[in-house]
Chain A
Amino acid sequence: MCGRAGIDAKSLIDGVKQDILDKGYTYDDITFSDVQEEMLFGTVKRSDKLLENIFILKEHEGVSAYWDLRTTSKGILGLITLPVKRIIRKLVSFYVEPIVAQQNEVNRLVADSVADLYFDINRMRDRIEFLEKENESLSSMLHDEPDERTAK
C-alpha cells in the first residue's frame, strides 16, 4: 500500500458543524421515510394470503431429480434392487437432468413473475389510494373556496 496523504477529515467536519451553528442552518425538510409512509408505495401487506402462497411457491420452486433410493425387498432381491436402481438412474441421468434443470428455471421464472406482479398490483393499488385522497382534498379545497366574483 502507498503512503497516505489524506486530509484531516475530523477537523474538516468539526469546522463544518461549527459553520452550521454559526449560520443557524437547520434541517426541517420532509424526510424520505415520511414520503414512503405517506405514499405507501409497494408496501407489502404481510398478512396477505397471496403473499404466503408466493413464499411457499418460492420454497418449492426447485425440484430434485434424485429421490432417496429405497427398497422393501428382502433377501437376495433386496441386495440387488438398490444397485440396479442406481444403475438405471445413472443410465437415464443424461435425459432427466436437463429436463429437471429446465423445469426448475421455469418454476423460478413463474414464482418470480407472480411475486413481481403481486408487488406491482400492491404498488398501483396504493398509488390509486394516494391519488384518490389527493383528489378528494383538492376537490374539497375547490368547493370551499369562495367564488371570486361573488366575493367581490
Chain B
Amino acid sequence: MRVIQMVSNISFGDAIGNDVLALNDLLNCAGYETAIYAEVIDPRVAENHTIFSALPLPGLNKDDVLIYHLCINTPVIQKIKQMKCRKVAIYHNVTPHEFFLDHSFSLFTSCKDIREELKKLAGTFDYCIAVSSFNRDDLINNGFTCQIDVRPILIPFGDYEKPPSRTIIDKYNDNNVNIFFLGRVVPNKKQEDVIAAFSCYVKNHNPNARLFIVGSSEGMESYREQLDEYISLLGIENVIFTEKVPFDEILAYYKIADVFLCMSEHEGFCVPLVEAMYFDVPIVAYASSAIPETLAGSGVLLYEKDPLVTAGIIDKLVTDENLRNSVIEGQRKRLMDFSYEKTSKLFLEYIENFIACK
C-alpha cells in the first residue's frame, strides 16, 4: 500500500508546500511508501526533494491512499474523481473570488471555479482533514458529509533556528519601532488597513517607526500600485515593501519586529501568526475567518477596524512592558498546541485510523 500526496503547486517557502514536505517525511518515518505529485513544481523545491509530475496521473490501486491538498482549481481535480484508490482531502481553504475581481481575472476565475467545484467534490473524498474548524465548516457548508477532522498545519519549527540575515538585522535593529506583516500582497490580506493603522501610529505616537510589508505582489501589480498611491497620499515614509525575500531574511524580519500586525479578512489558518508566536513578537490581528481560532485568546484580537485604535494598541504593546510580556506569555502557551510532535502525532493518528477503517 502506498500513501501519496498530490498538490497543484509546490512552491518554495509556501505554507502548503512546507506542509506537504513535512507530511511526506512523517509518513516515510512511519514506514509508509510515499511520493509527492504536483502539477507545477518549483525548481528550488525539486533540488532537495523528489517531486513527480501529477500528469499523467500515477497508477494507484484500490488499497493505495491519495492525499490531495485542496486549495485551487486545476484540471487534475476532475481526474482524481475517476481514480480507484482511497481519497483523503486536506483542505486549506479557498479565498473568496470577489477579492480578486478588480485585480486578477485568472485568480478571480480560479477561485470562483474551485468554489463551484467544491460542491461537486463533496462525494469524491472518503475522508477530509481541515487545517482549522473554520475550514471544516466551509466543507460542511459545501455538502461534504464524510468524516472531517481538524489538524493544524505541520510547521517544522527547526527551520526557524537557521541563522537570520545579518544584513537585515544590522540595517534595522536599532531603537526605532518595527511593525511587520508577512503575506502575499493580495486584496484579501488588506495591506491597506495595515498601512492606515501605521499612518495613525506614525502621526500620533512615533514618527520614526517603520512598517515592513514582506511578500510578493506578483500578479497583483494593480493592487500594489494602489497601495503605493495610498502611501504617497497619506504622506507617510518608512513603509518598506520587500517583495519576495529569501528565508533567512524572513527570519531576520521576525527578529527585528516589535509588533506583528495582521488585518487580513480571509485566512484558512495563517501560519505567520504561529511564526510570530515562535519569535515572541506580540500579535495584533483583526478577528476574521480562522484568525481567532489560530490565536485562541492569545495576541490582541480586534473586532473592529479603527486605525486609531489599532495604532493605540501598537503603542501600548511597545511602551508597556508588562502588557507586552503578558501577550508574549499567552502566545507561548498557544504555540505549544502547534508543536511538531503534537501536530504530527495527531496527523498520523488520523491517517492510521482512516487506513484501518476500510
Interface residues of A (CB under 8 A from B): 1-7, 9, 12-13, 15-17, 19-20, 23, 25-27, 29-32, 35-36, 39, 41-44, 54, 58, 62, 98, 101, 104-105, 108, 111-112, 115-116, 118-119, 123, 127
A6 & B330 in contact (Cβ 8 Å cutoff): yes
B103 & A4 in contact (Cβ 8 Å cutoff): no
Tell me how many residues of B have a C-beta within 8 Å of chain A: 51
Given A12-B313, A119-B105; A42-B222 close (CB under 8 Å):
yes
Q: How far is the CB of B347 from chain A (nearest CB, A)?
A: 17
- Cβ contacts under 8 Å, B327 to chain A: 7
B109 & A7 in contact (Cβ 8 Å cutoff): no
Given A13-B302, A98-B56, A115-B109; A42-B326 close (CB under 8 Å):
no
Given A108-B75, A112-B106; A19-B312 close (CB under 8 Å):
yes
A to B contact number (C-beta, < 8 Å): 121
B101 & A112 in contact (Cβ 8 Å cutoff): no
Q: How far is the CB of A91 from chain B (nearest CB, A)?
A: 17
- Cβ contacts under 8 Å, A15 to chain B: 316
- Cβ contacts under 8 Å, A9 to chain B: 300-301
Shortest Cβ distance from A7 into B: residue: B326
Tell which of A5, A26, A111, A115 touches B330, judged by Cβ atoms closer than 8 Å: A5
A7 & B323 in contact (Cβ 8 Å cutoff): yes
Tell which of B296, B302, B309 touches A20, judged by Cβ atoms closer than 8 Å: B309
**11 intermolecular pairs with C-beta atoms under 8 Å apart:** A4-B298, A4-B334, A17-B309, A20-B309, A31-B196, A35-B229, A39-B226, A54-B105, A58-B109, A62-B78, A118-B105
B-side interface mostly: helix
Shortest Cβ distance from B39 into A: residue: A105
Q: Is B329 on the interface with A (CB-CB < 8 A)?
A: yes
CA distance A13 to B314 in the complex (A): 11
Interface residues of B (CB under 8 A from A): 55-56, 75, 78-79, 101-106, 109, 192-193, 195-196, 199-200, 204, 221-223, 225-226, 229-230, 233-234, 296-302, 306-309, 312-313, 316, 323, 326-327, 329-330, 333-334, 336-337
CA distance A41 to B337 in the complex (A): 43
- Cβ contacts under 8 Å, B299 to chain A: 6
- Cβ contacts under 8 Å, B307 to chain A: 27
Q: Which 9 A-B pairs have the closest CB atoms?
A: A115-B105, A16-B312, A6-B297, A42-B222, A32-B192, A112-B106, A4-B297, A6-B330, A5-B330
CA distance A32 to B198 in the complex (A): 13
15 new A-B contacts, CB < 8 A, other than A4-B297, A41-B102, A42-B223, are A2-B334, A2-B337, A4-B298, A4-B330, A5-B333, A12-B313, A13-B313, A15-B316, A16-B312, A25-B204, A27-B307, A30-B234, A32-B226, A62-B75, A62-B78
B192 & A112 in contact (Cβ 8 Å cutoff): no
CA distance A34 to B75 in the complex (A): 39
Shortest Cβ distance from B109 into A: residue: A58
A101 & B312 in contact (Cβ 8 Å cutoff): no
Shortest Cβ distance from A15 into B: residue: B316
Q: How far is the CB of A56 from chain B (nearest CB, A)?
A: 12
CA distance A39 to B223 in the complex (A): 11
Given A1-B337, A12-B300, A39-B226; A29-B234 close (CB under 8 Å):
yes
Q: How far is the CB of A52 from chain B (nearest CB, A)?
A: 13
Shortest Cβ distance from A18 into B: residue: B312
Q: How far is the CB of A9 from chain B (nearest CB, A)?
A: 5
Q: How far is the CB of A58 from chain B (nearest CB, A)?
A: 5
A32 & B330 in contact (Cβ 8 Å cutoff): no
CA distance A96 to B199 in the complex (A): 58
A41 & B230 in contact (Cβ 8 Å cutoff): no
- Cβ contacts under 8 Å, A104 to chain B: 75
Most buried by B among A16, A39, A123: A16
